[in-house]
Amino acid sequence: MCCTISTIHSDEKRTIRVERRQLRISYKNGKLFLNLTKEEVKEVSKNKDKPIELDIGNIRTLNEDISNIVIEYWKDVEVPIQVKKLKER
């Protein structure tokens, strides 16, 4: 899963591409993965065993990530369980 968002700023003379990494959560093969920016890793390292503040601008992306994870988890785990139960009836 890509963690880079590209924003293009342009005026009459030039186009500038600004890329920034963003906190992401993903699911693959029954496992959750967390991608952090360098700044977030530093903050976690400095504040071990304490909550850290995350940029509130990540909330939409994180909501989408969690929604996708729930759907994939249900497909991988819950649906097969329910199908098995129905077959056993």
Write the pLDDT tens digit of every residue in 13-57: 555 444 455 788 999 988 999 998 888 889 899 999 998 888 888
Backbone angles phi, psi at 66, to 5 degrees: -65, -40
Can you give the pTM of this predicted structure?
Answer: 0.62
Helix (H, G, I), strand (E, B) or coil at 52: coil
Quick one: tokens of 54? 């995350």
pLDDT number for residue 68: 95
Quick one: tokens of 6? 């590209």
